[in-house]
């Protein structure tokens, strides 16, 4: 299992990689825009300057032709990039073509197990399942992740399950229990996963009589 940070914020990416447990970065158009820019290539270059992990960036096109052209352009920047393609009719056509060209893709905005099957058959390297956005619609995002993970396993599918739209440490635990390959979450989620008040209090009590001393 791998953990990715879901942000285009350079400070958060640096902090995330400093932890040593994060190996990739996922972005989407909103995440890029949050950094005050519409220059996707420029922002990805800034991200690459501070981390050597896999970077996910999304196409903007609406037709398969536009998606394919943009994916080829993105792929030309850096080979440790994965191109995110929305899971709709045009997206599936684009992923089918791009996978034959050896371009690594992640079908994104996946809300159903049936869509995840289409992603696999099109040859996507990843399927990004939107967990909390499914929960927000009144469906069980965790059950969804379990179903897709099981479905891929039973059918010996190589597409990796990427649990996205994940926000809390318990979300991470639940999708990890389902056996996902990757979890992506904002930097604060990874910090929250590590920090614990009882750990801090216990540590303080252990060190109470050691002030000013060293090993």
- Residues tagged active-site: 84
- Figure out which of the listed residues 132, 135, 147, 168 binds ligand E4P, where binding follows CB under 6 A: 132
Q: Report if residue 6 touches ligand E4P, rule: CB under 6 A.
A: yes
Q: Report if residue 128 touches ligand E4P, rule: CB under 6 A.
A: yes
Q: Report if residue 28 touches ligand E4P, rule: CB under 6 A.
A: yes
Give the residue with the Cβ less far from ligand E4P, 138 or 212.
138
Q: Report if residue 70 touches ligand E4P, rule: CB under 6 A.
A: no
CB atoms under 10 Å from CB of 139, counted, come to: 12
Q: Report if residue 33 touches ligand E4P, rule: CB under 6 A.
A: no
Give the residue with the Cβ less far from ligand E4P, 163 or 213.
163
Q: Report if residue 43 touches ligand E4P, rule: CB under 6 A.
A: no
The DSSP line for the chain is: -EEEEE---HHHHHHHHHHT---EEE--HHHHHTTT---HHHHHHHHHHH--SEEEEE---SSHHHHHHHHHHHHHH-TTEEEEEESSHHHHHHHHHHHHTT--EEEEEE-SHHHHHHHHHHT-SEEEEEHHHHHHTTS-HHHHHHHHHHHHHHTT--PEEEEES--SHHHHHHHHHTT-SEEEE-HHHHHHHH--HHHHHHHHHHHGGGTT---
Question: Which among 23-31, 67-75, 97-105, 204-212 is the span making contact with ligand E4P, rule CB under 6 A?
Answer: 23-31
- What is the nearest approach in angstroms of ligand E4P to the Cβ of residue 131? 8
Question: Which among 68-76, 126-134, 150-158, 189-197 is the span making contact with ligand E4P, rule CB under 6 A?
Answer: 126-134
- Figure out which of the listed residues 164, 178, 183, 193 binds ligand E4P, where binding follows CB under 6 A: 164
Q: Report if residue 26 touches ligand E4P, rule: CB under 6 A.
A: yes
Interacting residues toward ligand E4P by CB under 6 A: 6, 26, 28, 31, 108, 128, 132-133, 164-165, 184
């Amino acid at each position: 299992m791998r953990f990715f940070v879901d942000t285009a914020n350079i400070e958060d990416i640096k902090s995330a990689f400093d932890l040593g447990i994060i190996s990739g970065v996922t972005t989407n158009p909103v995440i890029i825009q949050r950094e005050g820019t519409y220059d996707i290539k420029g922002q990805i270059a800034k991200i690459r300057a501070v981390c050597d992990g896999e970077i996910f960036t999304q196409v903007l096109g609406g037709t398969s032709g536009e998606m394919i052209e943009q994916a080829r352009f993105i792929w030309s920047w850096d080979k440790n990039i994965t191109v995110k393609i929305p899971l709709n009719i045009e997206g599936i056509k684009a992923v089918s073509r791009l996978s034959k060209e050896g371009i690594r893709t992640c079908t994104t905005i996946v809300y159903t197990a049936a869509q995840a099957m289409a992603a696999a058959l099109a040859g996507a390297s990843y399927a990004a399942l939107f967990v909390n956005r499914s929960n927000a619609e009144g469906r069980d995002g965790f059950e969804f992740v379990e179903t897709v993970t099981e479905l891929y396993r039973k059918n010996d599918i190589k597409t990796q399950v990427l649990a996205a739209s994940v926000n809390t440490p318990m979300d991470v635990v639940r999708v990890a229990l389902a056996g996902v390959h990757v979890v992506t979450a904002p930097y604060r989620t990874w910090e929250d996963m590590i920090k614990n008040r009882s750990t801090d209090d216990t540590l303080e009590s252990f060190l109470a009589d050691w002030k000013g001393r060293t090993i």
